[in-house]
Amino acid sequence: MKIRNFTFITLVFMLISNAYAGVIINEKGKYGYTDEARGIIIPCKYDYMSDFSKKGIAIVQKKNKWGCINTDGKVILKLKYLYISAFEDGFAKISTKEGLGLINDNGKVVLPASFGFIKPFNKSGIAIIGTVDGKIGVMDTNCSTICGCGNKIAYYNQEFNRIDITSEMDTIPGLPDYFYLYDEEQFFYRKNGKSMCTRRSDVRNSLMNITYNCSGRDAIPEVCGWSDFKDGIAIITTTVNLIDDAGKVGVSMGYYNIVEDKFIGYVRFDKSKVDVKNGNMFSGTNVFKLYEFNNGYGCCSHIDKTGKKRSYIFDLNGNIVRKLGMAFGFNKEGYMIVQDSVSKKYGVINLNFEYVVEPKYSDISLYKQKAMVPPFGKILVKENNLWGEIDIDGNVIIPCKFKNVFYSSAKGLILYSTDGENYGIMMDNGKIISDCKYKDIYVSMSQNSFCATTAQESKKIRIYSTYTGKSSTESYDTFVDVIEANEEHGGQIFVLGTKSSNDTTYSVIDGNMNLIVDRLICVDDALSIANEESQKPFKQASAIEIKRLRLKKNMNTKKYPATYTLSEEEWDY
CB of 213 to other proteins, least distance (A): 45
Q: Is 34 helix (H, G, I), strand (E, B) or coil?
A: strand
Considering the rule CB under 8 A, would residue 266 count as an interface residue with other proteins? no
Residue 100 in contact with other proteins, rule: CB under 8 A: yes
Q: Of 160 and 560, which CB lies nearer to other proteins in the complex structure?
A: 560
Which DSSP letter does residue 88 get? B
Give the C-alpha separation, 463 to 450, whole Å.
6
Q: How far is the CB of 571 from other proteins (least distance, A)?
A: 6
Stretch that binds other proteins, among 77-85, 439-447, 464-472, 490-498 (CB under 8 A): 77-85
Strands (E) located in 63-206: 65-70, 75-81, 83-84, 91-95, 100-104, 109-115, 117-118, 126-130, 136-140, 145-150, 152-157, 162-166, 179-182, 186-191, 194-199
Residues with Cβ within 8 Å of 222's Cβ and at least 6 positions away in sequence, in order, are 204, 238, 239, 240, 241
Position among 73, 116, 173, 325 found at the interface with other proteins (CB under 8 A): 116
Please list every residue from 518 through 547 that binds other proteins, using CB under 8 A: 542-544
Residue 556 engages other proteins in binding (rule: CB under 8 A): yes
- The correct pick among 35, 47, 270, 474 for binding other proteins (CB under 8 A) is 47
| 8 A C-beta contact, residue 340 and residue 359 | yes
Q: What ranges in 94-216 are assigned the alpha helix state H?
A: 200-208
Residue 566 makes contact with other proteins by CB under 8 A: yes
Q: List the one residue from 83, 178, 226, 467 that touches other proteins (CB under 8 A).
A: 83
Cβ-contact 473, 510 below 8 angstroms: no
85 part of the interface to other proteins, by CB under 8 A: yes
Q: Supply the angle between the helices 543-554 and 523-533 in degrees, to the nearest 10.
A: 130
User: Cα–Cα distance between 126 and 144 in angstroms, integer?
Assistant: 10
Interacting residue with other proteins among 22, 39, 125, 134 (CB under 8 A): 134
Contact residue for other proteins among 25, 75, 210, 432 (CB under 8 A):
25
Binding flag, residue 151, other proteins (CB under 8 A): yes
107 binds other proteins (CB under 8 A): no
Backbone angles phi, psi at 524, to 5 degrees: -65, -35
186 touches other proteins by CB under 8 A: no
Q: Is 160 in the site for other proteins (CB under 8 A)?
A: no
Beta bridge partners of residue 402, listed in sequence order: 387
| CB of 270 vs other proteins, minimal distance in Å | 45
Task: Give whichever of 13 and 406 is closer to other proteins, judged by the CB atom.
Answer: 13
* Nearest residue (CB) to other proteins, 62 versus 262: 62
Q: Taking the complex as a whole, how short is the minimal distance between the CB of residue 549 and other proteins, in angstroms?
A: 10
- Shortest CB 18 distance to other proteins, Å: 14
Q: Indicate whether 455 belongs to the interface with other proteins (CB under 8 A).
A: no
CA distance 404 to 184: 44
Report the first-to-last Cα separation within the chain, whole angstroms.
Answer: 66
- Contact assessment for residue 510 and residue 532, using Cβ atoms and an 8 Å cutoff: no
> Among 14, 75, 86, 372, which residue sits at the site for other proteins (rule: CB under 8 A)?
86
We find the least distance from the C-beta atom of residue 564 to other proteins, in angstroms, to be: 8
State which of residues 169, 290, 426, 451 lies at the interface with other proteins (CB under 8 A). Answer: 169
Other C-beta atoms closer than 10 Å to the C-beta of 214 total 17
Could you tell me which stretch among 328-336, 347-355, 486-494, 561-569 binds other proteins (CB under 8 A)? 561-569
Q: List, in sequence order, every residue forming a beta bridge with 154; answer none if it has no partner.
A: 165, 180
Specify the long-range contacts of residues 481-487, CB closer than 8 Å, at least 24 apart.
481/527, 481/530, 482/444, 482/445, 482/446, 482/449, 483/527, 483/530, 483/531, 483/534, 484/446, 484/534, 485/510, 485/511, 485/533, 485/534, 485/535, 486/534, 486/535, 486/536, 486/537, 486/538
Stretch that binds other proteins, among 45-53, 140-148, 204-212, 255-263 (CB under 8 A): 45-53
Q: In Å, how far are 31, 71, 224, 324, 525 from 61, measured between CA atoms?
A: 9, 15, 55, 76, 47
Cα separation of 123 and 133, whole Å? 27
- Contact map string, positions 48 to 67, toward other proteins, x by CB under 8 A: x-x----------x--x---
Shortest spacing between CB 543 and other proteins, in angstroms: 7
Considering beta carbons, is residue 133 or 354 the nearer one to other proteins? 133
> Of 150 and 511, which CB lies nearer to other proteins in the complex structure?
150
What residues make contact with other proteins under the rule CB under 8 A? 25, 29, 47-48, 50, 61, 64, 82-83, 85-86, 93, 95, 100, 116-117, 130, 134, 136, 151, 167, 169, 542-544, 548, 551-552, 554-556, 558-566, 568, 570-573
